[in-house]
């Protein structure tokens, strides 16, 4: 599973941020998963758990919360707005899997539903990111 690589990036960044803020322990990490990346929470939680086991004291007992961020795509040409769920059913399995790995290939496999332009932007809900980290000094 490639989610492992992304989970590792979340935890590495959290530890780096904690070191910068001189936190002894990280208590909570709130994670956003963009709708476009289509990552299942259970798989991601499992990957996080496995990596936490291998990490040092800073992450011992950390609570991770995952939120799905709904996607918003907006056409630069006609300004129409839509979400990935509106168009996902038009993708075949290979195309949906490609977007799962690299969300930007949505520009390759989909078009603006209104004017058919490939020139749109992902304004919300792209991929994996950290919303907040809390801990104790």
- Which positions lie near another protein, rule CB under 8 A? 1-2, 4-6, 8-10, 12-14, 16-17, 94-95, 98, 101-105, 107-109, 118-119, 121-122, 126-131
Q: Smallest distance from the beta carbon of 117 to another protein, in angstroms?
A: 9
Q: Smallest distance from the beta carbon of 2 to another protein, in angstroms?
A: 5
What is the rounded CA–CA span in Å between residue 50 and residue 42? Answer: 12
Q: Smallest distance from the beta carbon of 80 to another protein, in angstroms?
A: 17
What is the rounded CA–CA span in Å between residue 135 and residue 95? Answer: 40
H or E stretch at 107:
helix 106-109
Q: What are phi and psi of 116, to 5 degrees?
A: 70, 15
Nearer to another protein, 86 or 121 (CB): 121
Length of the chain: 137
Task: Give yes or no for a contact between 74 and 61, defined as CB atoms under 8 angstroms apart.
Answer: no
Nearer to another protein, 83 or 105 (CB): 105
Q: Smallest distance from the beta carbon of 55 to another protein, in angstroms?
A: 13
Nearer to another protein, 17 or 87 (CB): 17
What is the rounded CA–CA span in Å between residue 32 and residue 55? Answer: 21
Nearer to another protein, 86 or 97 (CB): 97
Per-residue tokens: 107: 């520009």
């Amino acid at each position: 599973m490639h989610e492992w690589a992304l989970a590792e990036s979340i935890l590495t960044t959290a530890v780096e941020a904690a070191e910068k803020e001189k936190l002894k322990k990280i208590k909570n990490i709130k994670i956003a998963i963009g709708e476009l990346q289509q990552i299942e929470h259970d798989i991601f939680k499992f990957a996080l758990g496995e990596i936490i086991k291998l990490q040092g004291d800073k992450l011992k007992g950390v609570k991770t919360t995952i939120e799905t961020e709904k996607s918003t795509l907006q056409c630069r040409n006609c300004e129409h707005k839509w979400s990935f769920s509106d168009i996902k059913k038009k993708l075949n399995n290979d195309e949906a899997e490609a977007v799962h790995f690299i969300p930007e290939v949505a520009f390759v496999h989909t078009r603006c539903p209104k004017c058919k332009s490939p020139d749109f932007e992902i304004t919300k809900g792209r991929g994996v990111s950290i919303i907040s980290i809390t801990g104790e000094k």
